[in-house]
Structure 1
Amino acid sequence: MLRADHPDTPSWLLIAAMLMSFLAAQYHHRFTVDPIRAVPALASLMALGSARAIGKYTARPRLAAGATAFLQMTLFTLFGVVLAYALAANSGRLWDSRLAAADHAVGFNWPVVFAVLDTCPPAIWLLGLAYHSLTLQMVVVIVALSGTAKFDTLRTMVCAAILSGFVTILISGLTPARGNLFDPSHYVHLWPSIAWLEQELISGLRDGSLRVLDLTMLMGIVSFPSFHATLAAIFIWAFAALPRIALPARAWAILTIIATPVFGGHYGIDVIMGLLLAPPAILAARHLTQRRRPSHPTGSALPA
């Protein structure tokens, strides 16, 4: 079983599984890492590891919990992106036509949405900033939960993020897509989406011309399901434990979800599936990170 006595163990095991999955996925398409470009990532990991050790050995649980969460999320990001790259290098036919057909079937008319949004620059800035603030939201929720000693919520949130991210990456390997592309030159105010900017990256992964990893320029390439939507939904759940900032933080996370199809270049069905992944991920993470109480040999639990 994945579950272990220490509540941080499931997240570490998931991170290890992601690393092993990357090593397996890139077996036939060998990737190398630019050593110079890897220095900032290694320095960040060392700094977070040091902060975690200091927190543990100086009996500062808030520091230890926060540093552990940041370390796990940083490793998850590194391994998750390179795993998505390796899966993209092995992927088959693109699913864009199927995803676009699914959007049409549920009533999404993106050309109309793009045209209307292009007439309202303030809305573009608001939604664009919300979409690109997901990392900042992660920083805020980790600092706030660790600073207020909401350790159970923090561990559940991190585990849910890693678990759902791992699942979305694996699904994306089976359903590769470039994304819901629109040409920004056809609009006056609308920004280019991440999917538009990633076209050459995805092409390089698929045709074999990109096999050197620049750890300073890693970009998420998962289209279906949308992990951006999943993570924002997980943050909405986590912010409930922080009543002082819950209302504005949740409202901002909702804006992030609304902005995801446009600024992430996602199909609507990507976002819907991403949202559907969040609740089971939270429930599974809560179960995995829950401490198991030791039992008497007779099977009765010890008193708390």
Structure 2
Amino acid sequence: MRLPTTTSHANAASWSVIGGLALACLLLSHALGFSVALARAALPALGVAVLTGALAIGRMRADTRLVAGATAFLQMTLFTILGVVLAYLLAAFGGPSWDEWLAVADARLGLDWPAILAVADRLPAPLLLVAGLAYHSLVVQMVGCIVVLAATARLERLRTAVAAAIVAGAVTILLSGLLPAVGNLFDPAHYRTLWPSVAWQDRDLVLGLRDGAVRELDLSHMTGIVSFPSYHAALPVILFWGLYPVTRLRVPAAIWAGLTIVATPLFGGHYGVDVLAGLLLAVLALAVARRLAAKAPDLSGMRWPVRHARPMPRTTGRIRWKQGAEVIH
């Protein structure tokens, strides 16, 4: 068996964005004086090595599903590491905070966050628990989407979904650098059942990056510090699109994606405009990725047997067959 050499445009776009992120991280880390804690980089490096090995095995076996799945995992792993690092580096540039502007935009939308938080604090604890689990399950959602699409041989849809996720993530990181914000913070000590949001827990990290106190990258403990737009709102939409053809998962995927998006302001510390911008970004990223995927047919998800035609006797015409090749006399 052999694989054709045709490559996916969506797949190529993902690698191009990852390469651009890597170059940006190298240049900015040098310019800003950042260093990497090498002893704590072993686990991410091991993960990348394992996925690279799985990809190599898949290529040797001509296993298109394994190749597609390992490629998707490798791309998302590299993107996550590089994307978080780049977000840290961009935060180090400082600049005026856009929190006040984002809060005003929410107010104009009619979002009264003290009132909303008060209502949320009176919700049953099990409901808040489920919502919190949905918010913090984004990595699990991505893993599940990759596994399902690879196992069911929906390989071009997998590549398109990953490309959309990477494009949306890259735009999110760049916009967050242009419009830096700490987040829609609330002190959980003032509430009975609400959890501390990610923005609340990471506020010292963001301020440390902005004032120069943090200049070492710990790759074993990386967290998203992006406020506007919300990647937690964009990615569930993209993953739901990826899983949509799987009929049995369509309804539960829609419910879980919707719950994740609704929970994003509470558990991520996002403004409402963050979520709206994330939803719009997901639609645009999917449009770009689908356009890339439609540029040319991708045949890399198919197994192509090598066929040898039997020799044919010479006919009265000028064409005869020899070892599967057309010979014109």
Which TM-score band applies after superposition, normalised by the shorter structure? over 0.9
- Once superposed, what is the RMSD of the aligned Cα atoms? 1.5
Identity %: 51
Rg comparison, structure with higher value: 2
Q: Tell me which of 5, 9, 21 is aligned to 1:18.
A: 21
2: CA distance between counterparts of 1:157 and 1:143?
Answer: 13
State the 1:5 CA deviation.
Answer: 5.7
Decide whether aligned partners of structure 1 residues 255 and 237 sit closer, same or farther in structure 2, where only a CA change above 3 A counts: same
Of 129-138 and 113-122, more deviation after overlay is shown by 113-122
Equivalent position of 2:62 in the other structure: 59
Equivalent position of 2:43 in the other structure: 40
Equivalent position of 1:285 in the other structure: 289
State the 1:293 CA deviation.
Answer: 5.4
TM-score (norm 2): 0.86
TM-score (norm 1): 0.93
Alignment map for 1:138-177 (pairs within 5 Å): 138-177=142-181
Equivalent position of 2:98 in the other structure: 95
State the 1:223 CA deviation.
Answer: 0.2
Contact 2:231/2:278 (CA < 8 Å) preserved in 1?
yes
After superposing on structure 2, the runs of 4+ consecutive aligned residues of structure 1 that deviate more than 4 Å are none
2: CA distance between counterparts of 1:82 and 1:223?
Answer: 15
Residues 208-256 of structure 1: CA deviation (Å, up to 9, x unaligned): 1111111111000010000110101111211212111111011101100
State the 1:268 CA deviation.
Answer: 0.2
The residue identity in structure 2 corresponding to 1:180 is N
Equivalent position of 1:127 in the other structure: 131
Alignment map for 1:1-304 (pairs within 5 Å): 6-7=7-8, 8-120=11-123, 121-290=125-294, 292=296
1: CA distance between counterparts of 2:24 and 2:247?
Answer: 38
Equivalent position of 1:299 in the other structure: none
Residues 139-192 of structure 1: CA deviation (Å, up to 9, x unaligned): 110000000000011000000000010001000001000000000000111100
Decide whether aligned partners of structure 1 residues 293 and 190 sit closer, same or farther in structure 2, where only a CA change above 3 A counts: closer
State the secondary structure of the residue aligned to 1:215. Answer: coil
Equivalent residues, number: 291
Contact 2:94/2:211 (CA < 8 Å) preserved in 1?
no
Equivalent position of 1:297 in the other structure: none
Residues 276-298 of structure 1: CA deviation (Å, up to 9, x unaligned): 0111101111122346259xxxx
Contact 2:261/2:275 (CA < 8 Å) preserved in 1?
yes
2: CA distance between counterparts of 1:162 and 1:292?
Answer: 20
Contact 2:29/2:35 (CA < 8 Å) preserved in 1?
no
Of 43-52 and 29-38, more deviation after overlay is shown by 29-38
Contact 1:6/1:289 (CA < 8 Å) preserved in 2?
no
The residue identity in structure 2 corresponding to 1:260 is T
1: CA distance between counterparts of 2:264 and 2:215?
Answer: 28
